[in-house]
Amino acid sequence: MRMFDLIRKKRDGGILRPAEIRWFIEGVTKGTIPDYQVSALLMAIYYKGMNLEETKELTFAIRDSGERLDFSAVRGIRADKHSTGGVGDKTSLIVVPVVASFGVKVAKISGRGLGHTGGTIDKLESIPGFRTDIPEEDFLRNVNEIGLSIIGQTHEIAPADKKLYALRDVTATIDSLPLIVSSIMGKKLAADDDVIVLDVKTGSGAFMKTRRDSRKLAEAMVDIGKAAGKRVTALITDMDRPLGSAVGNAIEVIESIETLKGRGPKDLTDLCAALSSEILYLYGKGESLEQCEDMARDAIRSGRALALFGEMIRAQGGNPEVLWDYSLFGTAPVTAEVCAETDGYIAGMDTEGIGRASLALGAGRNTLDDVIDNTAGILLLKKTGARVRRGDVIAKLFTSDPQKVDQARDILIRSVVYTEKAPRKKPLVLDRIS
């Protein structure tokens, strides 16, 4: 086979055969296909798409590109949740300890930031000393002993996806349904969890901008998960507004801790309760989703989930004192304010724009070699639906580089829409696919 032929075939709208997809992923894994040709095929897939059978084959090829975790040593059913990526989305930091507090085993493999969205691993690495690259035996021991562990993608697990993930980030091929499905489910299936709950974002801050596309993505992932013998559900959730008030890395971890203390933003708390209830219900911990949601909220009220989060931090080399002393995260030397430009209501937010503003402050990567500023980010003091007067502070910016403030402020200002009348409220959870 020749890579040239595969690129031309997909460019012209052809359907790739299973053998061709397997050959491509093998070449990506071994490094025998140059980046420019891999990128060319990614772009062709972005424009021409893949049918369900191609997507399924790509997913399974990515799953099989490396080792599959051996969870035989883990006592109990294993569960995981995954988000398709959003702005201010720190739900894993809350949901994982919540469900683990009920005996659910969570051996979670997470990714880094992609485009305008943040990554769970980047957030966790803002905790002083926290390691996301612990040996597999330590990972599994933590899952057995304390019930949870979150690590980054290793070279052994789905290595083809690690290469594709990085190239997608810098070639504007992120928001492609088959590439998103195969990336997420390839890693999930390599991790071999029994229960998988998917948080599929939709709206201006998501990779899928419409509910129709988000539903197609959710249905494809649920279908592929079930084909692999897993218990899977998906929630379609609104990303026409950032989740919570914090956007960044350390600032999002702090907001997650506040949520585990019962003091988090309502939207973030409600979504975490909904996602946790899905896991607990599929796991068989309750007779109904409503009962499981009550259980999840009690894990927060009682402090059990917060205590487990601290245990995970300690087990992975971090300093659990961050739960009580936020100064340990460090402080951004540069702060600035963004003010409302008119009287009225915030009618909407270009959530992707807010993500790009955070990126401009240094909270994400523009290239593979960029170093993240853990203290950079945005704290939103007013969100969609809030009534404001001209000059009110609607957001605070944090960064280590004063030269980045003006660009970030300009992006954020352009991302906020005002009206004279209060906007209609929209639910956070829009649909459920099971």
- The residues that are catalytic are 82, 161, 168, 183, 187
Neighbours of 61 (CB within 10 A): 23
212: Cβ–Cβ under 8 A, 6 or more apart, which residues? Answer: none
For residue 247, the surrounding DSSP H or E stretch is strand 246-248
Please answer whether residues 34 and 41 qualify as being in contact, where contact means their C-beta atoms are separated by less than 8 angstroms.
Answer: no
Pick from 156, 152, 155, 158: nearest CA to 25? 158
- According to DSSP, the residues that pair with 148 across neighbouring strands are 106
- The secondary structure of 338-375 as a DSSP string is EE-SSSEEEEEE-HHHHHHHHIIIIIS-SSTTPPP-TT
The C-alpha angle 210, 215, 220, rounded to 5 degrees, equals 130
Q: In what order do the strands lie in the sheet with 416-419?
A: 387-388, 344-349, 416-419
What one-letter code names the amino acid at 99?
V
The torsion angles phi and psi of 114, rounded to 5 degrees, stand at -135, 115
Pick from 336, 346, 337: nearest CA to 389? 346
**Tell me, what DSSP letter sits at residue 14?**
P
**Cα–Cα distance measured from residue 253 to residue 230, given in angstroms and rounded to the nearest whole number:** 30
Q: In what order do the strands lie in the sheet with 246-248?
A: 246-248, 377-380, 393-399, 334-339
Please answer whether residues 282 and 231 qualify as being in contact, where contact means their C-beta atoms are separated by less than 8 angstroms.
Answer: yes
Please answer whether residues 399 and 361 qualify as being in contact, where contact means their C-beta atoms are separated by less than 8 angstroms.
Answer: yes
HSE-CB at 114 with a 13 A cutoff on CA atoms is 30
Pick from 64, 181, 161: nearest CA to 111? 161
- The secondary structure of 174-225 as a DSSP string is -S-HHHHHHHHHHHHHHHT-SEEEEEEEESTTSSS-SHHHHHHHHHHHHHHH
Residue 8, Cβ density class (10 Å: 0-12 exposed, 13-18 middle, ≥19 buried): middle
